Amino acid sequence: MFFKVAILVLKKDLAIEARSREILYTTLFFAISCLLIFSVAFVKEGVPAEDAASGILWIALTFSGTLALGRTFERERYGETLRALLMAPASRPAIYVGKLLGMVLLMLATEAVLLPLVAFLFRAPLFARPLLLTALLVLGTVGFASVGTLFAAMLVRTRTRDVLLPILLYPITVPVIIAGVRGTSALVQAPPDEAIATLWIGLLTGFDVVFVTLALWTFEPLMTE
């Protein structure tokens, strides 16, 4: 029953998004323009700084992810659908999981486009160990999105939600980002350091478990008035 509700919420979000694709395209475009801005800082005389690629990838993801979170819940707030969702006789954590899955899919779609671009523009051998890289990205995305979905949902009724979301989200997700960047750096080295990347993947798994558990636990009291 729990997963049925979650999948239903996910399908609803995907259906809405499939019609206009607004959030997907704008998030993607914003991530790519981040890359452009980073090139100003990290490219000297036409040559990208060594090892800048991993940091750039994760920072572009973080910024575009924050925007996507804001836009997703703004859409809910505007249509007053969040209240309708909460009034439905469905378990609240299931609604959270549904929204989380939607967010993770959106961010993974962004990553799918960003990865080749970063590898190309910043000359980084990102595809040396694709399985490990995928594990890193998926776990990091889940970690970031789990906290992000919770915070964005709880801030939806606040007037200063746009500025408070990054203020609250970034310090909490710093461990996830550090793990992602260090793991990706280890994989970009020549030869790729699999042991270190695996260590970071283990840490990310730990963070994900803690964050998702906490989010599931606190979602209900936070969304009730």
Partner 1 sequence: MRKLFVPLAVVAAAMFAYAPVGIARVPYESTMLLVQKIFYFHFATWMAVTASVAVCGVASAIYLFKGTAVADHYAVASAELTTIFCTFGLVSGSLWGRKAWGVWWQWDARLTMAFMLEMVFLGYLLVRKYGGPGAEKLAAAMGIFGAATAPFIYKSVDWWRTVHPQTTVMKTLGDKFPAAWNLVWFCTAAFLVLFVVMLAARVQLEYLRAELDRAYLAAEE
What residue ranges bind partner 1 (CB under 8 A)? 147, 150-151, 154-155, 157-160, 164, 167-168, 170-172, 174-175, 178, 199, 203, 207, 210-211, 214, 218, 221-222, 225
Supply the minimum distance, in Å, between the C-beta of residue 210 and partner 1: 6
> How far from chain centre, in Å, is Cα 10?
16
DSSP state of 21: -
Supply the minimum distance, in Å, between the C-beta of residue 112 and partner 1: 29
Report the candidate in 87, 223, 75 with the shortest Cα–Cα distance to residue 154: 223
Sign of the torsion angle spanned by Cα atoms 147, 108, 26, 124:
positive
For residue 222, the surrounding DSSP H or E stretch is helix 194-223
Q: Spell out a b/e string for 184-201, using b for 16 or more CB atoms within 10 Å of the CB, else e.
A: bbbbbeeebbeeebeebb
Supply the minimum distance, in Å, between the C-beta of residue 172 and partner 1: 5
CB-wise, 90 or 215, nearer to partner 1?
215
CB-wise, 46 or 221, nearer to partner 1?
221
Supply the minimum distance, in Å, between the C-beta of residue 147 and partner 1: 7
Supply the minimum distance, in Å, between the C-beta of residue 189 and partner 1: 17
CB-wise, 138 or 199, nearer to partner 1?
199
Supply the minimum distance, in Å, between the C-beta of residue 9 and partner 1: 21
- Is the separation of the CB atoms in 70 and 45 below 8 Å? no
* Distance between CA atoms of residues 68 and 13, nearest Å: 13
* Distance between CA atoms of residues 105 and 111, nearest Å: 10
CB-wise, 121 or 199, nearer to partner 1?
199
CB-wise, 22 or 50, nearer to partner 1?
50
Which residues of 18-172 form beta strands (DSSP E)?
43-44, 47-48
* Distance between CA atoms of residues 223 and 219, nearest Å: 6
CB-wise, 35 or 153, nearer to partner 1?
153
